[in-house]
Amino acid sequence: MSYCLNSGCRKPYNPSGNTFCQSCGAKLLLSDRYRAIKPIGQGGFGKTFLAVDEYKPTLPKCVIKQFFPQNSASAEKAAELFRREAIRLDELGQHPQIPELMAHFQQGDQQYLVQEFIDGQNLEQELVANGTFTENQIQELLWDLLPVLEFVHERQVIHRDIKPENIIRRNSITLPDDGGEIKGQLVLVDFGASKVITESSLGNTGTMIGSAGYVASEQLAGKASPASDLYSLGVTCIYLLTQVAPFELFDVVEGKWVWRQYLQSNISEDLGRVIDQLLAPNINERYQFVREVLKELESVKYQKSFAGSGSQTGSNNPSLLTKILGGIPQIIKGRIMQEFGQTESALAAYDRAINIRPNNYDAWYKKAEVCYQLKRYESAIFCYEKTVKLQPNHWQGWRSLGVLFYQFNRYEKSVECYFKSLDIQSEQPMVWLWLSLAIKKSGDEQKAQMCLYKARQCLPNSRVETAEILWKAWEKLIQ
Active site residue 177: no
What are the backbone angles phi and psi of residue 237, rounded to the nearest 5°?
Answer: -60, -45
The full 3-state SS of 316-378, as one line of letters, equals: CCCCHHHHHHCCHHHHHHHHHHHHCCCHHHHHHHHHHHHHHCCCCHHHHHHHHHHHHHCCCHH
Q: Is 228 exposed, middle or buried (0-12, 13-18, 19+ CB in 10 A)?
A: buried
Question: How far is the C-alpha of 408 from the C-alpha of 387, rounded, in Å?
Answer: 20
Beta strands in 190-306 (DSSP E): 195-196, 250-251, 256-257
How distant, in Å, are the alpha carbons of 182, 408, 411, 479 from that of 436?
A: 24, 17, 11, 18
pLDDT tens digits, one per residue of 119-152? 899 999 999 999 999 998 999 899 889 988 988 8
Q: What is the pLDDT of residue 25?
A: 94
Is 443:466 a contact under the CB 8 Å cutoff? no
Annotated catalytic residue, options 144, 161, 190, 229: 161
> Which uninterrupted H or E stretch holds 91?
helix 75-92
Residues 6+ apart with CB under 8 A from 441: 406, 409, 411
Question: How far is the C-alpha of 252 from the C-alpha of 258, rounded, in Å?
Answer: 10
Mapped onto helix, strand or coil, the DSSP state of residue 111 is: strand
Q: What is the pLDDT of residue 74?
A: 60
Mapped onto helix, strand or coil, the DSSP state of residue 224 is: coil
- Mean pLDDT per 10-residue segment, the chain (479 residues): 91 93 93 93 78 90 82 64 73 79 83 89 95 92 89 86 93 56 77 52 45 85 90 97 94 92 91 96 93 82 45 41 45 73 82 81 91 88 92 91 89 90 84 84 80 74 56 50
**Other C-beta atoms lying within 10 Å of the C-beta of residue 380:** 22
Residues 6+ apart with CB under 8 A from 109: none
Burial profile 260-296: b = 16 or more Cβ within 10 angstroms, e = fewer: eeeeeeebeebbbebbbbbbbeebeebbebbeebbeb
The full 3-state SS of 251-266, as one line of letters, equals: ECCCCEECHHHHCCCC
Residues 6+ apart with CB under 8 A from 135: 265, 266, 267, 268, 271
Mapped onto helix, strand or coil, the DSSP state of residue 448 is: helix
What are the backbone angles phi and psi of residue 341, rounded to the nearest 5°?
Answer: 80, 10
pLDDT tens digits, one per residue of 413-468? 989 999 999 888 887 777 888 888 888 887 777 887 888 787 777 666 666 555 55
Q: Is 330 exposed, middle or buried (0-12, 13-18, 19+ CB in 10 A)?
A: buried
Q: Which of 76, 85, 337 lies closest to 193 in space, CA to CA?
A: 85
Is 66:110 a contact under the CB 8 Å cutoff? yes
Q: What is the pLDDT of residue 380?
A: 92
pTM of the predicted structure, to 2 decimals: 0.61
Instruction: Determine the straight-line distance between the first and last CA of the chain, rounded to whole angstroms.
Output: 37
Q: What is the pLDDT of residue 101?
A: 83
Bridge partners, residue 110, by sequence: 107
What are the backbone angles phi and psi of residue 446, rounded to the nearest 5°?
Answer: -65, -45
**Other C-beta atoms lying within 10 Å of the C-beta of residue 98:** 22
Is 223:210 a contact under the CB 8 Å cutoff? no
Q: What is the pLDDT of residue 433?
A: 81
How big is the chain by its Cα radius of gyration, in Å?
Answer: 25
**Other C-beta atoms lying within 10 Å of the C-beta of residue 190:** 22
Question: How far is the C-alpha of 403 from the C-alpha of 285, rounded, in Å?
Answer: 42
What are the backbone angles phi and psi of residue 20, rounded to the nearest 5°?
Answer: -125, 150
Q: Is 12 exposed, middle or buried (0-12, 13-18, 19+ CB in 10 A)?
A: buried
Q: What is the pLDDT of residue 460?
A: 65
Question: How far is the C-alpha of 400 from the C-alpha of 421, rounded, in Å?
Answer: 9
Question: How far is the C-alpha of 115 from the C-alpha of 85, rounded, in Å?
Answer: 11
**Other C-beta atoms lying within 10 Å of the C-beta of residue 115:** 24
**Other C-beta atoms lying within 10 Å of the C-beta of residue 325:** 17
